[in-house]
Structure 1
C-alpha cells in the first residue's frame, strides 16, 4: 500500500483528557481505556512505513483544575504522530454528555486545522458516539471515507442500566442517551468501515442498530504495548506503588486479586467487593486491590464516581476488610504495568467484573503480563478468553459464584501456571499493535483503492487546500452563453493554481441541480442556494448545519408571513420555492410600498429579517443573518480562506452584498439596474462581456488564476464635495 506522499489519517476522540504521557486513566468516567487506545493507535499507525502523518484530534481544555498541557494546541507524541487540540464550547473541562451542542463547531475547527496542514486526509476515524458524529460531518465535507469505532454503545448501555433498575427518564437525564444513539446511527449510516474489537460486539451489539450492515463491519482486536506490559522478572525490585499498597494490607505477601478500572457504575466494583467480603476463605487466601482512578476529595467528584467510591468505602466497613483490601487514592499510568506484574508474581489474578465490556484492554494487558484473568462473560472477554485461554468467564451479577471462581483460580497452582503461559503466548500472537495496524491498513487500502470502472470511489474535496475560490450567481451570470460557459469551465479545469468553484443563487437546491445539469456544469464544491439561506458541499450535497444554526437567530417565520400579508402589491410565490429560511414574493412596484417602508413595518413589529429586492419583481425575506454575502463571509471563516481570495460574480440586487467589501467583485454586462450604484468601487469590476464571458473578463482583470491583484480602495473627493470610490 504505497503512496508517494504516504497516508495522512485523522483520528477523532472528543472527550476526556488526552495527552501523550502519564495518561490520567480512571480520573473520571471520560478518561478510561479509550484514551489510551487512541494514543497507542496513533503511535502505532505513525510507525508504519506507509503512513506519513497521524493527527489525533481532541478537545482543547483551558482550565486551572487540570494540567496546562491540555491547553496546548499541538503535541508530538511520536515521529509523525500528533495530538491536536481544538476549541469546543466553553474552555473549561466538561463531561461528554454536555458537549453535544458544540460538536459542529468542533468539526469546523478541524477543517481549519486541515487547511493549516495543507493536505486532505485519506480518511477520518471517529472514536465513540460524539466523534462518530464529528467524523460523519468531516468525512462528508472532505469527501473521504469514515471509519467508526463505537467503543461502548448507547443502546447496550441503556438496556444494561434498565436491567439494573435505573428508570428510563433518569438514564436520559444523566447520559443524554437518545442523542448518543442517534449519533451512533448517523456514524453507522456514514461509515465505510466499522471497526469492532470482538465478534460479539459486531454480531450482537451493533445488530441493535437500524444501520447495522455486516459487510461494513470488521473485527480487528485492539493492540497492546508488549514492551510495557510484560511478565515479572527476578531483577524487577520493588516498584513505587508497592509502598502505597502496603499502607492498607496486614500481609502483603498473599496473592493479589487485582481490579483496575475507573470509578463507573458499569465497572461493577461493588459486586466484586461483595464477592470478596462474603467469602471468608477467599479473604484468608488473598488480598483484594481495587485501583479505581485517582481521587483527592470524593465529595468534589462527579455524581457517578462519587456514588461508586462512597459505596466502596461503605462496603469496606460493612465487611470489615481493613488490612485485607487496598484502595489507593492515587496512581500514575506507569504504575499500572507494575501492578499487573506484582499480582502475577504473587500468584494472583486479575478481575474485570464489568456489567458490559465491549473492549477489554485491561484483560489483554494482564495476559501480556502473565496474569490469569476472571472476567465478565460479555463482549471483549469472550474473544480474549478464546484467544488466550487464561482464565474464567463469570456472570457479573452473581457475587457468590464470582467469589468461588476467584478462589478456585488462585488455589489451583498447576492450572494457574498454565493460564499464565497461555496468556503470554495469546497476547503476543493476537494483540500486538503491529498486527492490529497491519489488518487495519490492509482493509482501508482495499476500500480506498477499489475502483468502479475508471472512477476512484472517494473523490476528495479540495476545499481545505484551495488557495482561491470563484463563486458565481447562476441565472444571467454563469449561464446564458453556452460558448462562454465552456471556455470558463475549461479555464478553471486547466488552471495551474488550486481553485475552488461555488455557486450562489436564489434558486432552491432541486432547481439548482437541474439547471446545472442542463448546462453541463459539474456539481460545484460549494452550493449557496435560496438567496444564501442554505449552504451545501460537493456532489454529496452535505448540508452545512452550522450555517442553519447560525441564521436561525431571531427568525420568526410565521409571524413574518402574517405581518407581510397586510402589505399590498405582494403575492406569495408557489410553495415549491418557499424554504425554511426564505419567504419569497412577487413584488409589484406600482402597488407595493418601497423596500424601506417594508423594512420599517417589520421592525415596528419587532420582527428581525432581511428584505432583498431583485430583478425588479422579486422580494425575498430571509433571517437577519442570511444572505449570499454573509454566506461568503461565513465560508471564509469556516474554511480559513481570506475574503480577498474569493472572486464573486453576479448580475442582480440579491448579489450586491457578496460583491461589496473585501471580495473581488465582477458584475457582468447584462446586469440589472439595481447594481449601477456600485460603479466606481475598486473591488467591483463592471465587465464589458455578458454572462460567463464577463466572468472570464473579471478573472483576467484581477489576474485571479495568477498572482491575484487586489486593488486598494481609495477615496477621492469629487467636484460636488461628495466622496466616491475610484479604481486605483
Structure 2
C-alpha cells in the first residue's frame, strides 16, 4: 500500500491529494470513517469537475477506496488503510506530504489523544497482545479460506502426524482406548494391548463381519467382536461395522486427511451437550427474549431440537441405543422468579418435540432481590456471571450424572459462562456470538467512558476477548461476520486492534487466520416455516384469522391503522423496534415514495403500540419516531402497525398469508449479523429485500433470489422495491420466479440438518486434535484468567455495588 501512496505523490495527482486534505482540514470532524471519506472524495471530484475514471481508477481514487479511517491531529493526517481483508496498515501524512508508516501502538496513542485531548493521560497503559499464543499454532494463509478452519486444521495436522507412522499409530491407539459412556467401555478393550495388535485385530474383525449378512443387527454378534478386542460403537449392523473398520484400516495403511475426517466423524464421543443462553426469558411459549435476545432464543431452541435428533441418530448408527446410551442436550439459562406468567420461573422444562432435550434454569444468587428476581438487561448482567457459572456447574453435573462433552456459548454473556464452565470441567468450548455489540455501536470502544454507565462496554468487550480466545472453535453464521467484505470490517476483525482509553490497548486481540473459525450458518425450523404453496400442511382457519389480523381487524390493543385499500400488494416486515432493526427507516422510505404508496400497503409487526407499555428506552424512542413519520407523511390508510406476540406456528403462517397476496418481505436493518427472518421469509416463498450490510450478502444472490437494499439511502431503496413491483405488474410470472428461487436457496444451504451435522463433526474433529496434538493451551488460559480476575471482575464488582444500592 505504501507503493500506492508513493504513486499518488509521484504523479500529477499530488496536487489533488494536497487540495483534498486541505479541504478535509476545513471540516469540523477530526475522525472520518470510510463512508465519510468516500462521500468527501465524491464531493471533491464533483466540485473540481473530475472525470468519472478519476473517482474510480486514479491512484488517489484507489487509495481512498482502501482507506478505512482518517484521523486529523495537529495538521497531520493518520490514514488507516485496509489493503486486503483482515489486514491493516497505518500511515502518517504530514503537512508537507511526507509519509511515515506507523506502528499499531502509535495509532492507538493517536486515538487516545483524540479522546483525551483536554486531559491527556500520563504514563504507559496496559497492552493486550494475543499473537504470541498463536505463533506456534497453524494459521491459514489465504483469506478466502478463513472460516473453513476445520478443513485446514485436519489437512495440516494430519500431514504432520502421518510423517511419523509410529507416533501416528500410537496416538490413534490411545485415542480409541479412552472412550466410554457411564463406565461402559467403547471401541476397543484390554485384549488389544498395542498399536500393532490394533492393526492386526482390525483385519480379523473385518474378515469376521464380512461373513455375515450386512443387515444383521450388532447385538447378534456383539460378544464375538468383544473376544477380538472390539467393544460397542462401531455400528448397528454388520454392514455398518464393516464400513467403519474398513475406513480405520485404510487410515492405518494409507492415511490421508479425508479418510481421517470420515473416521473421526463416526466416533461416538459426543453424547451430552450444553447450550448456554444465560440471559434469560428463555422459554417456548409467550417468551421472546424480552426485549433483545428473541432471535437467540429461536436459534438455540431450534438448534437444541436438531442436535438431540442428530445425536440420537448417530448413537443408533453406532449400535449404542440397545445398550441404553442416550443423547442429552441441556439449554442452560437463568431462572427468573418474577416471570410474568411464563415458565421462566421453572427449574426444568422439556423441549417440545424431543426425547431428551431440556431447558435448565439456574437462578442468580439473590444479592439485591429487587434486581435478581427480575429480568436484567443484557447491558447490566455482567456482575452475576461468575457465581452463576459456579452454581450452574453443580446443576449440570447432577443433570448429566457426569460431565458434558461439549459446551456451546451464545452471545457475550453465554460465552463467558461457557469459558468459566469449560475451564473448570476441562471440556471442549465452542462460541457463537450471533452479533458482537462492538460493531453495532459506533466508536463504542473509543468513547467507552461516556457510554459505560449505560452500556458497560468495558465489561462486554473484555468478556468478548476472553471468550473468543479461549474457545476451541468458533462458529459464525457468515464469512463476513469474521472478516467483513473488501470495503467493510468484520465483527471479529474489529477486535484485532482497538483502544479503550485509560483502560487498555489491544495490539492484537484475535488471530483471524486461526483454524478455530468455522462458518456454519443456522437453519430454518421447517415444522413452522415452509412454502405457502404447501396448502395441505396449512390450517385454513389460521390462515383466515391471520389474514384478518394483518389487513382488516380493528383492535386498538393489537393494531394501529385502517387500510383504505387492503387489496394492494403488501410490503411486510417483522422485527423488534430498535434503532438497528430500522423499521422507522422503512416507514420513512415508504412515506417519501408516493409511487410506492400507490402500489403497496406497508404492514409492520413490531414492538408495542404505546410508549407507556414499553420498559426499553430504545424501543420507546422508536415508537415515538414511528408515530411522527406516520403523521409527517400522512400515511393513515396506507400502513398497518401490529403489536402482537406470535406463536411459532402463527409466525410461519403470517409469511405465507403475505405470500398468498404476492407480497414481499423487507428487512431494512442498518446492520444484520445474519438474518433468520430472511430465511423464514424466503422459505415461505416471499421475494425478499434485505440490508446490504452484514449477513444477507451471503444469503441472497442479488436480483436472482432476492434483492439488496441500502437502508441509509431511502430514495434508492424505494426505487429498487418499486422496480420489482412494476415488473410483477407487467409480468405476473416474475413474482413466482423470484419466489421459487428463494425457496430453493434455503433448502439447498440453510437447514438445521446441515447445521447440526457440521457442528457435531467439528466437535469430534477438534476433540480428536486436542487429544492427539496435546496442544499446550495452559499459558493462554492463564493469561485469560488474569484478564478476567484483574480487569473484568473488579469492574463487575463495582457494577454489583451500584446494583446493591438500587
TM-score, normalised to structure 2, is: 0.55
Other-structure match for 1:284: 598
Q: In the aligned structure 2, how far is the partner of 1:404 from the partner of 1:551? A: 52
TM-fit CA distance, 1:181: 1.3
Deviant stretches of 4+, over 6 Å = 455-459, 538-552
TM-fit CA distance, 1:251: 2.1
Other-structure match for 2:719: 404
Q: In the aligned structure 1, how far is the partner of 2:788 from the partner of 2:481? A: 31
1:268 corresponds, among 577, 582, 589, to 582
Other-structure match for 1:213: 512
1:437 aligns with 2:756: yes
TM-fit CA distance, 1:203: 1.7
1:102 aligns with 2:388: no
Other-structure match for 2:503: none
1:141 corresponds, among 424, 435, 439, to 424
The residue correspondences of 1:302-321 to structure 2 (distance < 5 A) are 302-321=616-635
1:196 aligns with 2:455: no
1:81 aligns with 2:339: no
Change (3 A) 1:33 1:421: same
> How many aligned positions are there?
472
The residue correspondences of 1:19-38 to structure 2 (distance < 5 A) are 19-24=283-288, 27-28=290-291, 30-38=292-300
The residue correspondences of 1:326-337 to structure 2 (distance < 5 A) are 326-333=640-647, 334-337=649-652
Q: Deviations over 1:649-690 (max 9, x none)?
A: xxxxxxxxxxxxxxxxxxxxxxxxxxxxxxxxxxxxxxxxxx
1:340 aligns with 2:626: no
Other-structure match for 2:709: 394
Q: In the aligned structure 1, how far is the partner of 2:435 from the partner of 2:359? A: 22
The residue correspondences of 1:189-588 to structure 2 (distance < 5 A) are 189-204=469-484, 205=490, 206-209=492-495, 210-214=509-513, 215-233=515-533, 236=538, 237=540, 238-245=543-550, 246-247=552-553, 248-294=562-608, 298-333=612-647, 334-386=649-701, 389-413=704-728, 414-450=733-769, 453=772
Q: In the aligned structure 2, how far is the partner of 1:241 from the partner of 1:35? A: 23
Equivalent position SS for 1:390: coil
Pick the structure with more strand per residue: 1
Q: 5+ unaligned residues in a row in structure 1: which ranges?
A: 460-522, 524-535, 555-728
Change (3 A) 1:15 1:295: farther
The residue correspondences of 1:678-693 to structure 2 (distance < 5 A) are none
TM-fit CA distance, 1:101: 0.4
Pick the structure with more helix per residue: 2
- Cα contact 2:521–2:755 (8 A) shared by 1: yes
- Cα contact 2:280–2:336 (8 A) shared by 1: no
1:63 corresponds, among 334, 338, 341, to 338
Q: Deviations over 1:138-174 (max 9, x none)?
A: 1111111211111111221122879xxx976554333
Change (3 A) 1:151 1:541: closer
Q: In the aligned structure 2, how far is the partner of 1:88 from the partner of 1:240? A: 41
- Cα contact 2:405–2:428 (8 A) shared by 1: yes
Change (3 A) 1:305 1:170: farther
TM-fit CA distance, 1:548: 13
Equivalent position SS for 1:412: helix
Q: 5+ unaligned residues in a row in structure 2: which ranges?
A: 1-264, 316-326, 366-371, 485-489, 496-508, 554-561, 798-806
1:72 corresponds, among 346, 349, 354, to 346
Change (3 A) 1:143 1:281: same
1:54 aligns with 2:329: yes
TM-score, normalised to structure 1, is: 0.60
TM-fit CA distance, 1:416: 2.4
- Cα contact 1:104–1:546 (8 A) shared by 2: no
Change (3 A) 1:161 1:313: farther
- Cα contact 1:140–1:542 (8 A) shared by 2: no
Q: In the aligned structure 1, how far is the partner of 2:356 from the partner of 2:431? A: 22
Other-structure match for 1:602: none
TM-fit CA distance, 1:108: 1.0
Range with greater deviation from structure 2 (16-25 or 166-175): 166-175
Equivalent position SS for 1:290: strand
Other-structure match for 2:457: 177
Q: In the aligned structure 2, how far is the partner of 1:404 from the partner of 1:178? A: 42
Q: In the aligned structure 2, how far is the partner of 1:382 from the partner of 1:75? A: 37
Range with greater deviation from structure 2 (426-435 or 115-124): 115-124
Change (3 A) 1:451 1:324: closer
Change (3 A) 1:230 1:549: closer
Q: In the aligned structure 2, how far is the partner of 1:434 from the partner of 1:286? A: 37
Q: In the aligned structure 2, how far is the partner of 1:151 from the partner of 1:46? A: 21
Q: In the aligned structure 2, how far is the partner of 1:367 from the partner of 1:541? A: 42
Q: In the aligned structure 2, how far is the partner of 1:224 from the partner of 1:446? A: 25
Q: In the aligned structure 1, how far is the partner of 2:626 from the partner of 2:434? A: 26
- Cα contact 2:611–2:620 (8 A) shared by 1: no
- Cα contact 1:349–1:410 (8 A) shared by 2: no
- Cα contact 1:160–1:355 (8 A) shared by 2: no
TM-fit CA distance, 1:341: 0.8
- Cα contact 1:125–1:147 (8 A) shared by 2: yes
Change (3 A) 1:175 1:409: farther
- Cα contact 2:304–2:329 (8 A) shared by 1: yes
Point out which structure has higher relative CO (alpha carbons under 8 A, 6+ apart): 2
Other-structure match for 1:123: 406
- Cα contact 2:672–2:694 (8 A) shared by 1: yes
Other-structure match for 1:43: 305
- Cα contact 1:388–1:426 (8 A) shared by 2: no
- Cα contact 1:448–1:457 (8 A) shared by 2: no
- Cα contact 1:12–1:131 (8 A) shared by 2: yes
